[in-house]
Structure 1
Amino acid sequence: MEPHEVDHGGRPFNSYEDEFRRLAAEAGGAGRCLRFPIRDVSVPSPAAMRGILDAIDLALDAGQPVYLHCWGGRGRTGTVVGCWLVRHNFATAASALDQIRRLRAGDPTAGKPSPETAAQRQMVTTWAAGR
């Protein structure tokens, strides 16, 4: 979250970077925390999405685990995951939303849509493989 962001009750979010670094050190790694701000219930520009996907790919290519999330873990997270699946041909643009549903089957919020909004779903269903 960005420093100026607050939750639905107007409370600022707690930073978890210190805890992240501590856990990474315990696991024997340095870890990196990258932020790609996307306004809640919206989508990034195509160029910004490519930057996010490139950062994920660089980490994975280096053998680093990736943890991706947004505030609720469904809208923006689902949008990025869907575009990543399409980029790497783990799903087609037409099947990506079904694939996300299958991947989320064990999640307590699996009954709620991911991505959340029509614009987010449209970004996934129009994303091109290799993009």
Structure 2
Amino acid sequence: MRGLRRLGVDVLVSAQTDGERVECDLVDQARAVAAAGLRFVCFPIEDRTVPDVASAVAVVEPLYEMYRGGAHVVFHCWAGIGRSSLLAGLLLGMDGVAPGEAWRVISEARGMPVPDTGEQEEWLAGWWEGRFHVKR
């Protein structure tokens, strides 16, 4: 965690479920993140699924405001392909980046294609198409 802080990360967002945190020995992740001087946000999403749009927007909007203010936000899940990429894509979408470009940028940064499922790709496209109907 301190390494993330040294790299300039300000916020760590976990999309892991409680069970995954147990399996990865990350039960104390929130405490470790805080001890390293980072802000921790937990938004559990079941692997290979998508979250409720309103819930995801409610979590990511404040992160977007921090991002616009200069904060460096890192998303993680199990492999960093599906759920974390979906949340990163949502943040980029809030910044005006269209879904196709968001997936390209995230894929390039990850060094592998994202997202993990077609449902995740459709979710971001659906949010993008309806984004002006989301209360801001």
TM-score (structure 2 length as normaliser)? 0.68
**Whole-angstrom distance in 1 between the partners of 2:50 and 2:109:** 21
Residue 76 (structure 2) aligns with: 69
Question: Is the strand fraction higher in 1 or 2?
Answer: 2
Query: 2:6 aligns to what?
Result: none
AA in 2 matched with 1:22: A
Could you say which residue in structure 2 is the equivalent of 1:22?
35
Q: For the Cα contact (< 8 Å) 1:93–1:127, is it kept in 2?
A: no
Q: Which structure 2 segments of 5+ residues have no match?
A: 1-15
Deviation at 1:68, TM superposition (A): 1.4
TM-score by length of 1: 0.70
1:1-131 alignment, distance < 5 Å: 1-3=16-18, 5-6=19-20, 11=23, 13-14=25-26, 15-24=28-37, 31-61=38-68, 63-89=70-96, 91-105=97-111, 110=112, 113-128=113-128
Aligned letter for 2:34? R
CA deviations over 1:70-106 (Å, ceiling 9, x no partner): 12111101111112212211x213433223222323x
Query: Cα distance 1:94–1:61, how it changes in 2: closer, same or farther (>3 A)?
Result: closer
Indicate the structure with greater helix content.
Answer: 2
| Structure number with bigger Rg | 1
CA–CA distance in structure 2, aligned partners of residues 94 and 84 of structure 1: 14
Q: CA deviation at 1:125?
A: 2.5
The number of residues matched between the two structures is 115
Segment of structure 1 superposing worse, 67-76 or 15-24 = 15-24
**Letter paired with 1:79:** L
The one-letter code sitting in structure 1 at the alignment partner of 2:47 is D
Aligned residue for 2:99, secondary structure, equals: coil
Specify the alignment match of 2:13 in structure 1: none
For the aligned residues, what is the CA RMSD?
Answer: 2.5
**One-letter amino acid of the structure 2 residue matched with residue 93 of structure 1:** P
Alignment check: 8 A CA contact 1:96 1:124 kept: no
